[in-house]
DNA sequence: ATGGTCGAGGATCGA
């Protein structure tokens, strides 16, 4: 049975519960992975989503920061979470569907403003998270698995509006791209979005600070869908719902979709 | 070169 999955950094699931409902109503993915819920799990309005048929969920939360949730209209089982860097952050949750596919929903640290870990510990935290991801997936080779989320790195030249102008900007620096590539390679993860859409500029995030985000179009592809090598060929239909960036009181991220025939 | 905008939570911090 094919299923469609979406990933979206919602930037407060309570403030934007209505936008989550709109996405579920308009696009009807089978599974929706959210990041930056910014809420303890007990304060997330799961009942609003259950009313729409999304009665299954797995989540990790904390007050004010981070937070990841998987909403599903297919039954799922919580498959635990990983506390990258031992900070107690809610940056990962996993769940397994009845078809045996495990979904990892990840929120990698943004990394602060300066791309130098000797003066910016947030940047070090970001790199260390990616190193732990590398080591984890090297030791636990994923099978029948999908990894999604806001990885806060745009790895390719055509994942940003200007490769040259962003080379020293956190999210597109060579050392981040290298760390992300190491984590991807260690797990044998395939970038499903780029396997589907190998050519051309593709973004999933546009800053709030632009006067006119749509006209300026200075985007970055920070949100990703990866699949383990054994199921990657089942992935297709990848797209970014750019229109969601223009909704009322939007998140600064747009949802990314893929369908898997499994 | 700089500043620009959000959200949480009630001053800043994180993005």
Distance A63 CA to B14 C1' (A): 13
What's the pLDDT tens digit per position in A107-130? 999 999 999 999 999 999 999 999
Distance A11 CA to B15 C1' (A): 9
**Separation of alpha carbons A237 and A216, rounded Å:** 27
Which residues pair with residue A260 across a beta bridge?
A3, A235
Averaged pLDDT for residues A226-241: 98
A65 CB and strand B closer than 7 A: yes
The proportion of chain A whose per-residue pLDDT surpasses 90, expressed as a percent, equals 100
pLDDT of residue A190: 98
pLDDT of residue A186: 98
CA closest to C1' of B3 belongs to: A209
**Separation of alpha carbons A195 and A238, rounded Å:** 9
**Separation of alpha carbons A44 and A69, rounded Å:** 9
pLDDT of residue A96: 98
pLDDT of residue A4: 98
Q: Which nucleotide is nearest to A125 (CA to C1')?
A: B14
Q: Is there a contact between A238 and A189 (Cβ–Cβ < 8 Å)?
A: no
A246 CB and strand B closer than 7 A: no
Averaged pLDDT for residues A254-258: 98
Q: Which nucleotide is nearest to A39 (CA to C1')?
A: B8
Which positions in strand B are less than 7 Å from the protein's CB atoms? Answer: 3-9, 14-15
A236 CB and strand B closer than 7 A: no
Both tokens of A164, joined, read 């040259």
**Separation of alpha carbons A30 and A74, rounded Å:** 7
Q: Provide residues 179-198 of A with CB closer than 7 Å to any strand B atom.
A: none
CA closest to C1' of B6 belongs to: A208
What's the pLDDT tens digit per position in A170-227? 999 999 999 999 999 999 999 999 999 999 999 999 999 999 999 999 999 999 999 9
Distance A22 CA to B9 C1' (A): 27
């190998």: which residue's tokens? A198
What's the pLDDT tens digit per position in A12-52? 999 999 999 999 999 999 999 999 999 999 999 999 999 99
The H or E element containing residue A125 is helix A121-139
Look at residue A257 and give its three-state secondary structure: strand
pLDDT of residue A52: 98
**Separation of alpha carbons A20 and A32, rounded Å:** 9
pLDDT of residue A215: 97
Q: What is the mean pLDDT of chain A?
A: 98
Q: Which nucleotide is nearest to A208 (CA to C1')?
A: B5
Q: Provide residues 32-51 of A with CB closer than 7 Å to any strand B atom.
A: 38-39
pLDDT of residue A176: 98
Q: Which nucleotide is nearest to A222 (CA to C1')?
A: B15
């Amino acid at each position: 049975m094919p299923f469609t999955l979406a990933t979206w950094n919602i930037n407060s699931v309570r403030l934007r519960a209505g936008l989550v409902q709109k996405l579920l109503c308009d696009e009807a993915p089978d599974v929706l992975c959210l990041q930056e819920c910014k809420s303890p799990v007990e304060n997330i309005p799961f009942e609003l989503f259950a009313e729409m048929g999304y009665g299954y969920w797995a989540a990790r939360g904390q007050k004010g920061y981070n937070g990841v949730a998987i909403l599903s209209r297919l039954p799922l089982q919580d498959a635990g979470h990983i506390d990258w860097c031992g900070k107690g952050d809610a940056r990962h949750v996993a769940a397994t569907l009845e078809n045996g596919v495990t979904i990892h929903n990840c929120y990698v640290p943004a990394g602060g403003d300066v791309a130098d870990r000797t003066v910016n510990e947030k940047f070090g935290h970001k790199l260390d998270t990616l190193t732990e991801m590398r080591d984890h997936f090297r030791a636990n080779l994923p099978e029948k698995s999908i990894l999604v989320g806001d990885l806060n790195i745009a790895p390719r030249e055509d994942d940003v509006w200007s490769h040259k102008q962003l080379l020293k900007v956190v999210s597109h620096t060579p050392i981040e791209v290298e760390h992300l590539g190491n984590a991807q390679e260690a797990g044998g993860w395939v970038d499903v979005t780029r396997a589907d859409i190998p050519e051309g500029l593709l973004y999933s995030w546009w800053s709030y600070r632009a006067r006119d985000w749509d006209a300026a179009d200075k985007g970055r592809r920070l949100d990703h869908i990866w699949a383990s090598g054994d199921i990657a060929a089942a992935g297709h239909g990848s797209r970014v719902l750019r229109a969601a960036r223009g909704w009322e009181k939007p998140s600064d991220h747009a949802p990314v979709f893929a369908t898997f025939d499994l």
